[in-house]
Chain A
Amino acid sequence: MTLYLLRRIFGFFVTLFIAAAVIFILLDLLPGDPARFILGINATPEAVAALRLQMGLDDPALLRFSNWIFGMLRGDFGVSQTQKLPVAGLMVERMSVTLPLTVFAMVISVAVGLPLGILAARHRGKPIDTALMVLAQTGVAVPNFWFGMLLTLLFAVTLHWLPPGGFTPWNEDFWAASRGLVLPSLALALPQAAILARVMRTALVDVSTQDFIRTARAKGMTFGEAMWRHGVRNALLPVLTILGLQFAFLIAGTIIVENVFYLPGLGKLIYTAILERDLVLVRSGTIILVLVVSFTMLVVDLAYGFVDPRLRERRA
């Protein structure tokens, strides 16, 4: 068990380091001078040189890389080149939008996806099952930015029930802030709910043919009772893995959805930084996303090991 833990944790740090190296190299290879970009075409060469010096662009690559890594180890993620503010502060500020958005979307996808998956499995092969799976397939196929647009057209432009986008800070108006997250989290949750429904259905169908279900039925339970008491719990194992993966997808999905709903979240921060060639913000922002996603994976892996002892022993 300890060995398993150590290996997972070691893998986690190796992933982070490789990701950091790749991010740094890719951004460094990008053509174009960020200082020239910030100052525009009429800037004098002296002004560009002054800004390059200020931004530390003239140092050797290896020095800049190690400065970045050791800075992060000390909790210093650098200062945004365009906004002139510490990256860590900017990211934390944006978390107040992205985190609730992701959690809302997660809750919605679980609340919608799992019951639908169970319903479909119960009525396996019947019209309701077919209808639900067609719906789920559509849900997986619909891009969430487009779905977001449709939601806005209906609920904001036509019905005026909800704002078309934008965000009021939590401390200013809690109710308005929550309202602003309804449509984006719906848009974000739809494909995930569809995936969850499909996974849940498949897992339940697999479980339903297992020996322990037959035994439970032999002991006098109805099929429904047997599935509910033994089937669903066992079927949750693959669902747990998918949930971990989905968290990563949701974080990535916020980049698009936050732009559709003009929400000041992490996704929009990084998207804008890419457009404005704010290399410090892009690389530190990306590595923090990598950190969040890998950490979630680590937790899911560990949780998986605890839930299913067979797996733990096999891997160790």
Chain B
Amino acid sequence: MRVTKSLALASAGLLLATSLAVAQPTEIRVGAPLEPPTLDPTAGAAESIDVVVYQNVFEGLTRIDQNGAVQPGLASEWTVSDDALTYRFKLHDGVTFHDGTSFDAEDVKFTFERILADDSVNAQKALYQAISAVNVIDPLTVEITLSRPDGLFLFNIGRGDAVIVAPESADNNATDPIGTGPFAFVQWDRGSRVVLEQYGPYWGEKPALTKATFVFISDTATMTNALLAGDVDGTYNFAAEALPVFDGNPKFKILVGTTEGETILSTNNKRAPFDKLEVRQAMAHAINREEIIEGATYGYGVPIGSHFAPHHPYYIDLTNTYPFDPEKAKALLADAGFPNGFSATLKLPPVAYARVSGQIIASEFAKVGIKLELINMEWAQWLEDVFANKDFDLTIISHVEPFDIGIYANPDYYFGYNNPEVQALNETLNATTDEAKRKELAQEMQTIIAKDAVNGFLFELAQTGVWNAKLEGMWPNAPVEGVVLRDVHWVE
């Protein structure tokens, strides 16, 4: 009798185990619009690199979570000196790279020295320039000294650009990435897909997925078909115009989240007539944000009144600083000496949001007498003409770096805003580590920038993901570039 009972129990357990294994798939196929040129996030700016490898294959000392907050990563804890110049990191024990070599303080030192080397091609080298020394205290303790305080330091070392690499494998990371993350690189069929598999000896909590394949599909209609046919299980940011296909389909869910992309009508503050405050104020009054958001983002964008992400705790709503008011705009133009308006050029990079916003703004500006000539450009040409040579009147671009209000403190930046008050505030902000004080300073900066109407502040880009309805754990927001698979799992 007892034998039968235990047999029955055992078979029931077996049955349960089998049914679980059948019911819960552990593999995922993610559609991505762009194939990464390489797989080394420390040697290129392409977002497509981070999409595949950030926090999946590679990890940094800190980790950015889905709300943009800093969490412990390879460093389990840290202390900051009172002058905010010295950071001492305690590293996790028992961490190994995917090639089996062990991770320790020497790898941290190597990583940062590689970023700061003269021949470094790290796209964000400027973010780490405050680092003056990296000292190995013992194999599991490392101390980083800064030459000046940097309030964003802990955030910046959690980005894809500062993931920890090993001296043995760093040179080959472009094609054979070796990191410490929960997923190890398996293969890359160029032009087609990258395959990752769960890394067994991973030091942290094991992810639910055993295998993840990134499939590269650039065309929107093709991606739609791939989703509908089930060839991919989801995509993290899909073109808004294609979302109605999936809206209301019970097999899919749409995740609407925020990004760090402030989309602005960048204005050349050094060039006449934009050097006149009244002119910039007039343009601000001439902009109808709702119309632009509806037209360029199908209503998914969030209006902004300054250069700051609405989901950030330091954000203040300044969208009413210069409300939409064409009559006021005309009056201000007359005050500035342009009763009949003026003509200017608007250079547009090859992204849909910019091209469409440009057309809407041109028609809005025409109503107050500003005649815009639209000039469409390719990326490389835009970077050279507008960004590097500052040869432009107006342009539309999304600034996708997190917490990038500091660009307004750089008078040599392409829109040429030079305000010593903002520069002083930014310096204080960088040197401040107290949260409440930082918030106050950041809000003061936002307000001044909004009042100065430095640029036309349009909207924050949304992230609109389409996923299989049975998938959970994806990040709706994009506080950093990356598709983090750590928590993604299938449910019934």
| A interface, CB within 8 angstroms of B | 30-34, 36-44, 46-47, 50-51, 54, 82-85, 90, 93-94, 97, 149, 152-153, 156-157, 160, 163-167, 169, 259-265, 268-269, 272, 276-278
Contact = CB atoms under 8 A, between A and B. Distances in A.
A259 B219 contact: yes
Given A156-B225, A164-B229, A165-B231, A33 B123 contact: no
Nearest to A277: B380
Interface residues of B, number: 46
B160 interface: no
17 contacts: A30-B381, A31-B381, A33-B380, A38-B37, A38-B46, A39-B45, A46-B125, A47-B120, A82-B44, A90-B190, A94-B191, A97-B191, A163-B231, A166-B215, A262-B222, A265-B191, A269-B191
Contacts of A42: 45, 123-124, 126-127, 401
Contacts of B37: 38, 82-83, 276, 278
B292 to A, nearest CB: 22
A163 B222 contact: no
A261 B191 CA distance: 11
B88 to A, nearest CB: 28
Nearest to A162: B229
Contacts of A93: 190
Contacts of B122: 47
Interface string B207-237: 0000000011111011001101101000000
A36 B190 CA distance: 24
B225 A264 contact: no
Nearest to A43: B123
B335 interface: no
Interface stretch (B360-368, B382-390, B455-463): B382-390
A182 to B, nearest CB: 14
A152 B229 contact: yes
Given A36-B388, A83-B37, A152 B225 contact: yes
Nearest to B401: A42
A82 B49 CA distance: 12
B191 A268 contact: yes
Given A37-B380, A42-B124, A264 B231 contact: no
A30 B380 contact: yes
Contacts of A265: 191
Q: Which of B123, B216, B384 has the most C-beta atoms of chain A within 10 angstroms of its own C-beta? A: B123
B231 A37 contact: no
B10 interface: no
B342 interface: no
Contact of B123 (A39, A164, A166, A269): A39
Given A40-B45, A42-B45, A169-B189, A51 B121 contact: yes
A276 B126 CA distance: 23
B143 interface: no
A157 B380 contact: no
A27 B83 CA distance: 52
B379 A37 contact: yes
Given A32-B381, A32-B383, A39-B45, A262 B217 contact: yes
A160 to B, nearest CB: 7
A277 B379 contact: yes
Contacts of A40: 45-46, 123
B192 interface: yes
Nearest to B226: A164
B128 to A, nearest CB: 11
